[in-house]
Amino acid sequence: MNFSEPLKREDNRYKLLVLLLCSFALTACTASNSQAPVPPSPSEIEGRRDSVDRPGRPYESRSLITGIGIERHYLLRLPAGFEQDSCADVIFDFHGAGSTAEKEFRYSGFAPLADREGIILVYPDANKKYPDQNHGLASYWDGAWEANLRERDYDIDFILELVESVKNEYCTQDLFATGMSAGGDMVSALACLLHTPFMSFAPVTYRYYNVEECSGAGPRPLLSFQGDADRIVPIEGFDEPWFDPPMMEVMRRWAVHNECDTESLAQRINSEVVRYYWRNCEAETEWYLMEGGGHVWPGVTSTSGDREESQEISASELIWDFFKH
C-alpha cells in the first residue's frame, strides 16, 4: 500500500483551503511554486496619480515605465490657475543623496515662485540605494559620485524619457535643471550631454565637471552656490576617493568650457555673500559663495542641526532670475 497518496491528497486539500481563505480575506498568499505576478502595463502605471487636491500634497505623485521596463517615480506640480492648453516653462529639481522628491519639493521652496511665474515643477526620484549611517537604505542618483556619464545612463535615460513624457502632455516652453548636492551633480551631468533638452543649469552645493565628458557639449549657462563651511562637500575639494578639485577650479573649468575670459570678477552682495562671474562668455557662468554657509540650499531653514544656514540670499529666486535672463 502506498501511504504517501492519502497524505498528498490531504496536503492538496489543505493548500486549496488556504488559498480559498486567502482569496476571501483579500490577503496576499502565494504558494512556493506560484508564478511571479504580472507587472502592470504602462497605461496602468500612467494612471497612478495622487490628486493635487489632497491636503498637504500640492502636487501629483506619478509613475513612469522606462524603456528598459523599470517603474520610476516623480512629482509634478502645476502652477495655480494653470489651464491645460496653457504653455509654461518647466523646472526639473533633483534631490540630494539620501533625500526624496517630496523632501526636495518642500526644501527648495519653488512653489510660491512657480505660482507667481506660471512654472511647471518636476521632481524626479532616484531609486538606487546605499547603506546610510543609520544602517538603513538611502537613495542616490546612479553614478553621481563616480563622475562618469556611462555609469549615469540608467538615470540619464530616465530623465530624458521623463522630459518627453512631460512635453507630450503639456505645452512646454523652456526646460531648466537645478538640484541639491548629488542632485547638483546630476544637473552638471545633464549639462554635459551633447544634446541636452535643458536651456540652463543651476547646481547647488555640488562638485562635478569632467573635462573629457563635457568637451563635446556646447556652452551651457551655469549658476552655482557653495558655502565655505560646507563639511559634506568642502570648498577645498576632496582627496581620496574622488580627488575632486577645489570649487573655484571647478567653476574655472566651466568658464573655460563656456568660452569666458580667463579671470573671474568678484562682487560682494552683502556681508556674507560674494558673487563670482566671468565676462565675455558664450554662456553665462556665475558662482555664489556663502561665507559661513554650510551644505544647505541658501534661503531656507536647515533641518539638520550640524549645518550652517545661509539666509542672506534666496537661491530659488536667483536661480529663476538666471534661468529667465
- The domains of the chain are located at 68-324
Q: State the pTM of this model.
A: 0.78
Among candidate residues 15, 26, 25, 178, the one with its CA nearest the CA of residue 105:
178
Share of the chain above pLDDT 90, in %: 50
Q: Which triple of cell numbers denotes residue 187?
A: 544637473
pLDDT over 50 (residue 210): yes
- Residues with Cβ within 8 Å of residue 300, at least 6 apart in sequence: 107, 108, 109, 309, 315
- Per residue in 169-200, pLDDT (tens digit) is 999 999 999 999 989 989 998 999 889 999 99
Q: Which residue has the cell 543651476?
A: 202
Please, what is the average pLDDT of the chain? 78
Q: What is the pLDDT of residue 239?
A: 66
pLDDT of residue 273: 95
CB atoms within 10 A of CB 121: 22
Residue 46, CA distances (Å) to 49, 65, 91, 157, 291 in order: 7, 8, 21, 18, 45
* Residue 90 and residue 175 in contact, taking contact as beta carbons nearer than 8 Å: yes
The CA-atom distances, in angstroms, between 68 and each of 65, 73, 123, 124, 282 are 8, 15, 21, 17, 37
**DSSP sequence for 275-304:** EEE-SS-SS-EEEEEETT--SS-TTS--S-
Q: How far apart are CA 63 and CA 287, in angstroms?
A: 35
Distances (CA, A) of 61 to 110, 158, 314: 17, 16, 26
Within 13 Å and on the Cβ side, how many CA atoms surround 284?
16
Return the SS3 of 232. coil
- Rounded Cα distance, 19 and 30, in Å: 8
Q: What is the architecture of the domain spanning 68-324?
A: 3-Layer(aba) Sandwich (3.40)
Do 298 and 228 contact (CB within 8 A), yes or no? no
What's the pLDDT tens digit per position in 295-314? Answer: 999 988 655 444 456 667 99
- Which neighbouring-strand residues pair with 180? 204
Note the pLDDT tens digit of each residue in 5-19: 443 444 444 344 333
Three cell numbers at 256? 573655460
Q: Which helix (H) or strand (E) holds 184?
A: helix 182-191
Question: Residue 293: in which H helix or E strand, if any?
Answer: none
- In order of 39, 203, 251, 308, 317, the CA distances from 313 in angstroms are 47, 16, 20, 14, 8
